[in-house]
Amino acid sequence: MRSAPCPITVVKFLLMTILFGLAPFALAQGKVCGDPAHPCGDFKPNELSFKIMKKFNFDRPQDKSAPFYAVILRSGELCKINEEERVKTQAVFPNNKVFVHRYFCEDFNDKVTYTNINKKFGFVAVYAGETPAEANKVLAQVKSTGQFPDANLRRMQVVVTYQME
């Protein structure tokens, strides 16, 4: 007479099956390249870049960066904050990448968005580091300029969305 399989073994088997089944959809967590002099990957000048661990091969819907902090300098209507404003603002913060949210403003040419935001609005932001201490230091620097009275900190990730057709 055979004994029934151990319930713990069955549960482990089911969990492993689920985890390995979802593996192709796992999102890479690449390090953000917050230095404007050293971007990484194939990103547009208005986008915050990060290291994508695996070349896209129609095998996943998106990639995400590792979490980071940004200072939102100004929000506005989506697609209305232009490159000229970003470049001027970049001159104020030469060591931290200034980026603009323009998700789908040019159809699939704008495939980068960010977590922890309202995707219906645009914004201009400056990279503020990986830790709260770094972020608060950048926020203090922003406030000291007097140019961005509504500046606020946000923890977020960069998200690249791929067209899966």
Q: Tell me the whole-structure pTM to 2 decimals.
A: 0.80
Domain residue spans in the chain? 28-161
- Convert the pLDDT of each residue in 132-143 to its tens digit: 999 999 999 999
At 27, the pLDDT band (50, 70, 90 cuts) reads: low
Q: What is the DSSP string of 118-154?
A: -TTEEEEEEEEESSHHHHHHHHHHHHHHSS-TT-EEE
CA 121, 127, 130, 136 torsion: positive or negative? negative
Nearest Cα to Cα of residue 69 among 153, 151, 158: 153
Say yes or no to pLDDT of 25 above 60: no
**H or E segment to which residue 70 belongs:** strand 68-77
- Convert the pLDDT of each residue in 61-91 to its tens digit: 888 999 999 999 999 999 999 999 999 999 9
Under a CB-based contact definition with an 8 Å cutoff, are residues 160 and 112 in contact?
yes
